[in-house]
Amino acid sequence: MAQINENYLKLQAGYLFPEIGRRVREYQASHPDAKIIRMGIGDVVLPLAPSVINAFHEGVDEMARQTTFKGYGPEQGYDFLREAIKNNDYKERGVDLSIDEIFISDGSKCDTGNILEIFGAKNTIAVQDPAYPVYVDTTVMGGRTGKVQQNGFYEGIVYMPCTAENHFSPSLPSQKADLIFLCYPNNPTGTTATKEELAKWVSYAKANKSIILFDAAYEAFISEDHVPHSIYEIEGAKEVAIEFRSFSKTAGFTGTRCAFTVVPKELMGYTESGEAYSIHKLWYRRQSTKFNQVSYPVQKAAAAIYTPEGKKEVKATIAYYMENARIMRESFTQLGFKVFGGINAPYVWIHSGSGLTSWELFDKLLSEAHVVGTPGSGFGPSGEGYFRFSSFADREKVVEAMERIKKIRL
95 to 134, contacts with a second copy by CB under 8 A?
106-107, 109-110, 113-114, 117-123, 133-134
Nearest-5° angle of CA 196, CA 199, CA 204?
130
Helix orientation angle between 308-334 and 395-407, rounded to the nearest 10 degrees:
10
Bridge partners (DSSP) of residue 161 are: 129
Neighbouring residues of 122: CB distance < 8 A, sequence distance ≥ 6: 272
Minimum Å gap between C-beta 364 and a second copy is 26
Instruction: Please state the separation of Cα 60 from the chain's center in Å.
Output: 29
Asked if 341 and 350 count as a contact pair (C-beta separation under 8 A), the reply is: no
Q: Which of residues 137-156 bind a second copy (CB under 8 A)?
A: 137-138, 141, 143
Q: Which of residues 201-220 bind a second copy (CB under 8 A)?
A: 208-211
307 binds a second copy (CB under 8 A): no
Asked if 181 and 125 count as a contact pair (C-beta separation under 8 A), the reply is: yes
Minimum Å gap between C-beta 128 and a second copy is 18
* Count of residues engaged in binding a second copy, rule: CB under 8 A: 85
Shorter beta-carbon distance to a second copy: residue 69 or 155: 69
One of 104, 162, 179, 398 touching a second copy (CB under 8 A): 179
One of 77, 185, 264, 269 touching a second copy (CB under 8 A): 269
Shorter beta-carbon distance to a second copy: residue 120 or 146: 120
- Read out DSSP for 256-321? T--EEEE--TT-EEE-TT--EEEHHHHHHHHHHHH-----HHHHHHHHGGGSHHHHHHHHHHHHHH
Nearest-5° angle of CA 116, CA 281, CA 232?
75
Neighbouring residues of 402: CB distance < 8 A, sequence distance ≥ 6: 327, 328, 331
Minimum Å gap between C-beta 307 and a second copy is 16
Minimum Å gap between C-beta 381 and a second copy is 19
13 binds a second copy (CB under 8 A): no
Number of other residues whose CB lies within 10 A of the CB of residue 72: 8
77 binds a second copy (CB under 8 A): no
Shorter beta-carbon distance to a second copy: residue 165 or 275: 275
Minimum Å gap between C-beta 274 and a second copy is 7
Minimum Å gap between C-beta 310 and a second copy is 14
Number of other residues whose CB lies within 10 A of the CB of residue 94: 9
72 binds a second copy (CB under 8 A): yes
382 binds a second copy (CB under 8 A): no
From the list 230, 314, 232, the residue with the least C-alpha distance to 267 is 232
Minimum Å gap between C-beta 45 and a second copy is 7
24 binds a second copy (CB under 8 A): no
For residue 386, the 8-state DSSP code is E
Q: Which of residues 347-376 bind a second copy (CB under 8 A)?
A: none
79 binds a second copy (CB under 8 A): no
Asked if 99 and 82 count as a contact pair (C-beta separation under 8 A), the reply is: yes
Neighbouring residues of 347: CB distance < 8 A, sequence distance ≥ 6: 42, 186, 187, 188, 189, 190, 218, 325, 341, 388, 389, 390, 391
27 binds a second copy (CB under 8 A): no
Neighbouring residues of 91: CB distance < 8 A, sequence distance ≥ 6: 97
d(CA 347, CA 326) in angstroms, rounded, equals 10
243 binds a second copy (CB under 8 A): no
The contact pattern for a second copy, residues 34-53, with x = CB under 8 A and - = no contact, is -------x-xxxxxx-x--x
Shorter beta-carbon distance to a second copy: residue 6 or 165: 6
174 binds a second copy (CB under 8 A): no
Minimum Å gap between C-beta 292 and a second copy is 4
Shorter beta-carbon distance to a second copy: residue 295 or 377: 295
Minimum Å gap between C-beta 109 and a second copy is 5
